[in-house]
């Protein structure tokens, strides 16, 4: 898969992990399977800890598996810290270590009141002349790629325009309603709300990049949200991402929470 598509996939994994908790400390472990054209290419596991003071920390690991070795090696580790405020996860710092083949990048983003105050990439990449830079305006009122896809139970989930920054690319995800579907996995059985997704790149990418153009023109990207009654939130349980190599699907194989 192309580099941008893999990074979007990592962000989608991260978005599938967390549920706001009640007053007591909660540990929430989730596991996911990613497939390309029906064949498993990666697996992921996340551990979310939410403390009594409403602070939270999320640690995640993603590794290629099965036929992924025929395409590319993927290894990612993510760590997010922040607070639960007004029934939303609000990140203070987001870190993503990402390795594909021999290429390694570490993305670090710091937030304050929804605005980006710093964003670094290590090692600093060389930008082509066609690069569209991220402006100061792009860094205001921006969501991180985790809490940006978690909604309280009274939200009209599929009527959202989500301004996301993943550490490099600033994008909008425009959701639209596509009905309901039955969904079941370990920890959940019921109806999932299906949203179509329009991907709009804003900045932080090479103009004319083939994989990005392909995704931005597609009308087949979807995110399914399931409601966790105990936490009264909607969170993603299934993502479908079209690529030039076939359809990538990310499915939660465990969806639940465990009190510590």
List beta partners, residue 98.
76, 105
Q: Mean pLDDT for the chain? A: 81
Average pLDDT over residues 101-119: 91
pLDDT tier at 144 (50, 70, 90 boundaries)?
Answer: confident
Lowest mean pLDDT among 20-29, 90-99, 178-187, 212-221: 20-29
Please give the share of the chain, as a percent, with pLDDT higher than 90.
Answer: 36
* Residue 9 reports pLDDT greater than 70: no
Asked whether 3 and 76 are in contact (CB, 8 A), the reply is no
Contact yes or no for 162/182 (Cβ under 8 A)? no
Cβ atoms of residues 158 and 177 within 8 Å: yes
Residue 15's region, left for phi above 0, alpha for psi from -120 to 50, else beta, is alpha
What is residue 10's predicted lDDT score, i.e. its pLDDT? 54
Give the pLDDT band (50/70/90) at residue 18. Answer: very low
What is the bridge-based pairing of β-strands 205-206 and 131-132? antiparallel
Query: Given this model, what pLDDT does residue 257 score?
Result: 60
Omega cis (within 30) before 17? no
pLDDT digits (tens, 9 = 90+) for 34-91: 887 778 878 887 777 777 777 878 788 888 875 544 456 778 888 888 887 766 678 8
The residue with greater pLDDT, 31 or 14, is: 31
CA distance 144 to 155: 18
Predicted pLDDT of residue 195: 96
pTM of the model: 0.82
245-254, pLDDT tens digit by residue? 788 888 988 8
pLDDT at 143 over 70: yes
**Does residue 193 contact residue 157 with C-beta atoms inside 8 Å?**
yes
First to last CA, the chain: 38
Lowest mean pLDDT: which of 27-31, 94-98, 179-183, 241-245? 27-31
Residue 259 scores a pLDDT above 70: no
DSSP H helices, the chain, are: 3-15, 210-217
Per-residue pLDDT of 199-210, as tens digits, reads: 999 999 999 988
**pLDDT for 148-167, tens place per residue?**
787 777 788 999 899 999 89
C-alpha–C-alpha distance, residues 50 and 110, integer Å: 19
């Amino acid at each position: 898969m192309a580099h941008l598509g893999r990074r979007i996939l990592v962000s989608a994994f991260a978005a599938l992990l967390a549920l706001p908790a009640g007053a007591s400390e909660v540990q929430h472990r989730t596991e996911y399977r990613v497939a390309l054209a029906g064949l498993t290419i990666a697996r992921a596991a996340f551990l979310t800890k939410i403390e009594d003071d409403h602070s939270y920390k999320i640690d995640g690991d993603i590794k290629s598996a099965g036929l992924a070795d025929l395409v590319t090696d993927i290894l990612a580790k993510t760590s997010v810290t922040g607070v639960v405020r007004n029934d939303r996860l609000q990140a203070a710092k987001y870190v993503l270590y990402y390795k594909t083949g021999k290429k390694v990048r570490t993305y670090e983003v710091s937030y304050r009141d929804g605005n980006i105050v710093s964003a670094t990439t290590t090692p600093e990449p060389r930008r082509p002349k066609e690069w569209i830079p991220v402006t100061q305006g792009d860094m205001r009122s921006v969501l991180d790629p985790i809490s940006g896809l978690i909604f309280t139970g009274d939200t009209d989930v599929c009527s959202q325009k989500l301004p996301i920054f993943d550490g490099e690319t600033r994008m909008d995800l425009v959701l639209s309603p596509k009905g309901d579907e039955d969904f079941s996995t370990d920890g959940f059985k019921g109806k999932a709300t299906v949203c179509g997704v329009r991907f709009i790149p804003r900045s932080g990418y090479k103009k004319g990049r083939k994989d990005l153009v392909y995704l931005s023109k597609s009308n087949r990207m979807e995110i399914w949200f399931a409601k966790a009654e105990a936490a009264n939130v909607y969170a993603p349980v299934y993502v479908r991402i079209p690529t030039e190599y076939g359809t990538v699907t990310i499915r939660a194989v465990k969806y639940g929470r465990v009190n510590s």
